[in-house]
Amino acid sequence: MTVSFGAHVDQADPLAAATALGASLSQFFLGNPQGWKTPTVGYEAGPEALKNDAVAAGIDLYIHAPYVLNVATTNNRVRIPSRQLLQKQIDLATAIGAKAIIVHGGHVGDEADLGVGFDNWRKCIDGLNITLPLLIENTAGGTGAIARQLERIDQLWSTIASASGVENVGFCLDTCHAHAGGIELAGVVAKVMAITGRIDLVHANDSRDAFDSGADRHANLGTGLCDPEGLAEVIATAGAPIVLETPGAKEGHTDDIRWIAEHVS
C-alpha cells in the first residue's frame, strides 16, 4: 500500500502495536470509550513522551472520541457534557501531537428533531477551540441518526458551514457504517467528496450484517457482507489514511492488510 495505514489498537502502547503490524499509524481511545471521565493517556511514560516517541518512530496518532458523546441530541443532560468532554479530548489529543480526533455524528430522539440536531452540531463547533482536525464519522443505524445517509450528511455540512472553526472539521468514512446505513460503497467516495469536499480518514471495515441493516458489527475484510469491489474501491480512491477497526487484533489485522494488498492495486 502506498497510503498510510494502521489499526485501532490498545491505548497502552500504540507505537509498539503499529510497529508489530508494520504500520505507520495507530488509532486509540484516551480512557474508557463508554465513560464520561476526563481523558487520560495510557502510555506509561506519559503524554509528552508519547508525542516525542511517535515523532521519532514516524508513527501518526489518531484519537477516537468516546462512544457516549452525542453533541446532536436535544437532551441537555447529554449534549452539554458531550461538548465539555469533547473539548477535553481535543486538548489532550493536541498535547500528544495527534493528527486528528474522530467523533460519531450522533443522533436525536426522533425524525422531527433532525433539524435541531444539525444545528446543535453548528453550535458545538462554534463553541469549541478546535486545535486539530475534528473528523465527523458516518454512522450505521438509528432513525434519528445525524450522519447515516448521504442526504443527512449533506444537511449537516450545509448547517455547520457558517460555524466559526468549521475549516478544522473534516470527514471520516466508515465502510461498514456506510454499508449498514444503506449507502452503496461503489461510487461513495465521489458522492461524499461532492458533499464535504474532503475525506480525511477511512475506517476500512467489512460488515457482519446485510446492506441497510442498521447494525454496526464489523468483520474482517473479505469475510463479511460488504461489496468487496466497492470496499476495495474506497480504499484505493479515497486518498486518505486507512484505519482497520476489525476483529482479531494483530492476527486479524495482518489478514486484513493481506486482503488489501491482494485487492487494491
Query: pLDDT (tens digit, 0 to 9) for every residue of the chain, 265 residues total?
Result: 578 999 999 999 999 999 999 999 999 999 999 999 999 999 999 999 999 999 999 999 999 999 999 999 999 999 999 999 999 999 999 999 999 999 999 999 876 689 999 999 999 999 999 999 999 999 998 889 999 999 999 999 999 999 999 999 999 999 999 999 999 999 999 999 999 999 999 999 999 999 999 999 999 999 999 999 999 999 999 999 999 999 998 899 999 999 999 999 7
pLDDT at 1: 53
Under DSSP, the state recorded for 31 is: S
In degrees and rounded to multiples of 5, residue 242 shows phi and psi of -115, 130
* Domain around 187: 5-263
Asked if 97 and 63 count as a contact pair (C-beta separation under 8 A), the reply is no
Between CA 75 and CA 156 the distance in angstroms is 19
Count: domains in the chain: 1
Rounded distance between C-alpha atoms, residue 4 and residue 231, angstroms: 17
**Separation between Cα atoms, residue 17 and residue 8, nearest integer Å:** 9
* CA–CA separation, 109 and 112 (whole Å): 8
Q: For 165, what's the count of Cα atoms within 13 Å in the CB-facing half-sphere?
A: 15
* Backbone dihedral angles phi then psi of residue 236, each to the nearest 5 degrees: -75, -30
Q: Cell 462512544: give the residue.
A: 67
166 burial (CB, 10 Å; 0-12 / 13-18 / 19+) is: middle
What's the pLDDT score for residue 113? 85
CATH, residue 61: 3.20.20.150
What's CA 262's distance to the chain center, in Å? Answer: 25
Whether 7 and 21 have beta carbons less than 8 Å apart is answered as yes
Question: Is 0.95 surpassed by the pTM of this model?
Answer: yes
**What is the C-alpha to C-alpha distance for residues 70 and 104, in angstroms, rounded to an integer?**
8
d(CA 237, CA 223): 21
